[in-house]
Structure 1
Amino acid sequence: MNFFEHQDRARRNSRRMVFLFIIAVVLIVFAVNLAVGLLFFSFFEFGAHEMQHMKLNASMKAHGIVSLITLMVIGGASWYRMSKLRSGGDMVAVGMGGTWVDPDSTDPALRRLCNVVEEMSVASGLPTPHIYVLEAEKGINAFAAGYTPEDAAVAVSRGALDQLNRDELQGVIAHEFTHILNGDMRMNIRMMGILYGILAISVIGRGLLHSGGRRKSFIGNRKQGGGGPILGLGLMLVGYIGVFFGRLIKASVSRQREYLADACAVQFTRNPDGIGGALKKIAGYSSGSQLKAADREEVSHMLFATGQSFWFSMLATHPPIEERIKAIDPRFRPEDMERRASADTAKNQRSGIHAAFAGSSDPWAFLTGKNEKVAASAFAASLNQDVESPDPEHLDHAVQTVSAIPDTLLHAARSRSEVLALFPALFLAREKDMRESQMGKVEEMLNLKFAEKVAILTKEAEKMHPLLTLPLSDLAFSALRQLDAPYGKRLTDLMEAMVAMDGKVTVFEYCFVRLLKRRLAEAQSPNRKPEGGKCRGKQCREALVNIFSVLAWQGHDSEALARRAFLAGISRMLPMDVPLYEAPVNWERDLDMALEVLDGLDFMTKGELVQALLVTAGHDGQLSLEEAELLRMICACLHIPVPPVLPEVAVNRG
Structure 2
Amino acid sequence: MNFFEHQDRARRNTRRLVLLFLLAVLLIVLAVNLAVGVFLFSFFESGFQGLNASVKAHGTVSLLTLLIIGGASWYRMSRLRSGGDMVATGMGGTWVDPDSDDPLLRRLCNVVEEMSIASGLPTPHIYVLESEKGINAFAAGYMPEDAAVAVSRGALESLSRDELQGVIAHEFTHILNGDMRMNIRMMGLLYGILAISVIGRGLLYSGGRRRSVISSRKEGGGGHILGLALLLVGYIGVILGRLIKAGVSRQREFLADASAVQFTRNPDGIGGALKKIAGLSAGSHLKAADREEVSHMLFASGQSFWISMLATHPPVEERIKAIDPLFRPEEMKVGVAPGTAGAGEGRGRSAFRSSDDPWAFLTGKRETVAASSFSEAVLQDVEAPPPDRLTHAVSAMTAIPDPLLHAARSVKGVSALFPALFLARERDMMAEQLEKVASVMGEARLRQVEGLLPQARKLHPLLSLPLSDLAFSSLRQVDREEKRILVKLMDAMVMLDGKMTVFEYCLVRLLKHRMEGMERTGGTERKRYGRGQCRDALVRIFSVLAWQGHESEILARRAFMAGISRILPMDVPPYGVPLDWTGDMDRALPVLEVLDMTTKGELIQALVITASHDGRLSLEEAELLRTICACLHVPVPPVLPQLTA
- 1:474-519 CA distance string (max 9 Å, x none): 1110010112222222212221221232222123322321221121
1:35 is matched with which residue? Answer: 35
Residue 523 of structure 2 aligns to a residue whose secondary structure is coil
2:555 is matched with which residue? Answer: 561
Residue 391 of structure 1 aligns to a residue whose secondary structure is coil
CA distance in 1, matches of 2:426, 2:26: 68
User: Are the equivalent residues in 1 in contact too, given 2:103–2:342 (CA < 8 A)?
Assistant: no
Q: Could you tell me how far 1:56 is from its partner in structure 2?
A: 5.4
CA distance in 1, matches of 2:562, 2:369: 19
Residue 471 of structure 2 aligns to a residue whose secondary structure is helix
1:19 is matched with which residue? Answer: 19
CA distance in 1, matches of 2:566, 2:18: 35
CA distance in 1, matches of 2:452, 2:639: 25
Q: Could you tell me how far 1:3 is from its partner in structure 2?
A: 0.4
Q: Could you tell me how far 1:42 is from its partner in structure 2?
A: 3.0
- 1:111-135 CA distance string (max 9 Å, x none): 1111110000011111101111111
CA distance in 1, matches of 2:284, 2:220: 46
User: Are the equivalent residues in 2 in contact too, given 1:394–1:644 (CA < 8 A)?
Assistant: no
Residue 527 of structure 1 aligns to a residue whose secondary structure is helix
1:474 is matched with which residue? Answer: 469
Which residue, out of 261, 271, 275, partners 1:276? 271
Which residue, out of 556, 562, 574, partners 1:580? 574
1:612 is matched with which residue? Answer: 606
CA distance in 2, matches of 1:430, 1:528: 35
Q: Cα distance 1:548–1:432, how it changes in 2: closer, same or farther (>3 A)?
A: closer
2:638 is matched with which residue? Answer: 644
2:540 is matched with which residue? Answer: 546
Q: Could you tell me how far 1:356 is from its partner in structure 2?
A: 4.2
User: Are the equivalent residues in 2 in contact too, given 1:137–1:159 (CA < 8 A)?
Assistant: yes
CA distance in 2, matches of 1:364, 1:569: 31
1:168 is matched with which residue? Answer: 163
CA distance in 2, matches of 1:327, 1:52: 57
Residue 92 of structure 1 aligns to a residue whose secondary structure is helix
1:596 partnered with 2:590? yes
Q: Could you tell me how far 1:472 is from its partner in structure 2?
A: 1.0
Q: Cα distance 1:370–1:343, how it changes in 2: closer, same or farther (>3 A)?
A: farther
| Aligned residue identity for 1:627 | E
User: Are the equivalent residues in 1 in contact too, given 2:265–2:387 (CA < 8 A)?
Assistant: yes
Counterparts of residues 150-165 of structure 1 (less than 5 Å): 150-165=145-160
Which residue, out of 209, 217, 232, partners 1:214? 209
1:199 partnered with 2:194? yes
Q: Cα distance 1:348–1:401, how it changes in 2: closer, same or farther (>3 A)?
A: same
Residue 332 of structure 1 aligns to a residue whose secondary structure is coil
| Aligned residue identity for 1:180 | I
1:92 is matched with which residue? Answer: 87
User: Are the equivalent residues in 1 in contact too, given 2:136–2:298 (CA < 8 A)?
Assistant: yes
CA distance in 2, matches of 1:460, 1:322: 49
Q: Cα distance 1:443–1:106, how it changes in 2: closer, same or farther (>3 A)?
A: same
Counterparts of residues 373-522 of structure 1 (less than 5 Å): 373-387=368-382, 389-428=384-423, 434-522=429-517
Give me the TM-score of the superposition, normalised by structure 2. 0.95
| Aligned residue identity for 1:631 | L
Give me the TM-score of the superposition, normalised by structure 1. 0.93
2:300 is matched with which residue? Answer: 305
Q: Could you tell me how far 1:620 is from its partner in structure 2?
A: 2.2
Residue 417 of structure 1 aligns to a residue whose secondary structure is coil
Q: Cα distance 1:430–1:290, how it changes in 2: closer, same or farther (>3 A)?
A: closer
| Aligned residue identity for 1:646 | L
1:329 is matched with which residue? Answer: 324
- 1:549-590 CA distance string (max 9 Å, x none): 111111110111111111111011111111111111111121
CA distance in 1, matches of 2:527, 2:506: 20
Counterparts of residues 61-100 of structure 1 (less than 5 Å): 61-100=56-95
| Aligned residue identity for 1:622 | R
1:229 is matched with which residue? Answer: 224
Counterparts of residues 340-351 of structure 1 (less than 5 Å): 340-342=334-336, 346=340, 348-351=342-345
1:354 partnered with 2:365? no
| Aligned residue identity for 1:21 | F
Residue 422 of structure 1 aligns to a residue whose secondary structure is helix
| Aligned residue identity for 1:122 | I
- 1:328-368 CA distance string (max 9 Å, x none): 0000122x2344212798564232442444899x9973413
Residue 182 of structure 2 aligns to a residue whose secondary structure is helix
Residue 127 of structure 2 aligns to a residue whose secondary structure is strand
Q: Cα distance 1:56–1:262, how it changes in 2: closer, same or farther (>3 A)?
A: closer
Q: Cα distance 1:370–1:493, how it changes in 2: closer, same or farther (>3 A)?
A: closer
| Aligned residue identity for 1:479 | S
CA distance in 1, matches of 2:448, 2:408: 13
Q: Cα distance 1:582–1:533, how it changes in 2: closer, same or farther (>3 A)?
A: same
Q: Cα distance 1:179–1:28, how it changes in 2: closer, same or farther (>3 A)?
A: same
CA distance in 1, matches of 2:49, 2:153: 64
Which runs of no fewer than 5 residues in structure 2 stay unpaired? Answer: none
User: Are the equivalent residues in 1 in contact too, given 2:531–2:599 (CA < 8 A)?
Assistant: no
The percent of aligned pairs where both chains have the same amino acid is 71
1:10 is matched with which residue? Answer: 10
Residue 335 of structure 2 aligns to a residue whose secondary structure is coil
User: Are the equivalent residues in 2 in contact too, given 1:78–1:193 (CA < 8 A)?
Assistant: yes
Residue 147 of structure 1 aligns to a residue whose secondary structure is coil
2:184 is matched with which residue? Answer: 189
Which runs of no fewer than 5 residues in structure 1 stay unpaired? Answer: none
User: Are the equivalent residues in 2 in contact too, given 1:162–1:349 (CA < 8 A)?
Assistant: no
Q: Could you tell me how far 1:528 is from its partner in structure 2?
A: 3.4
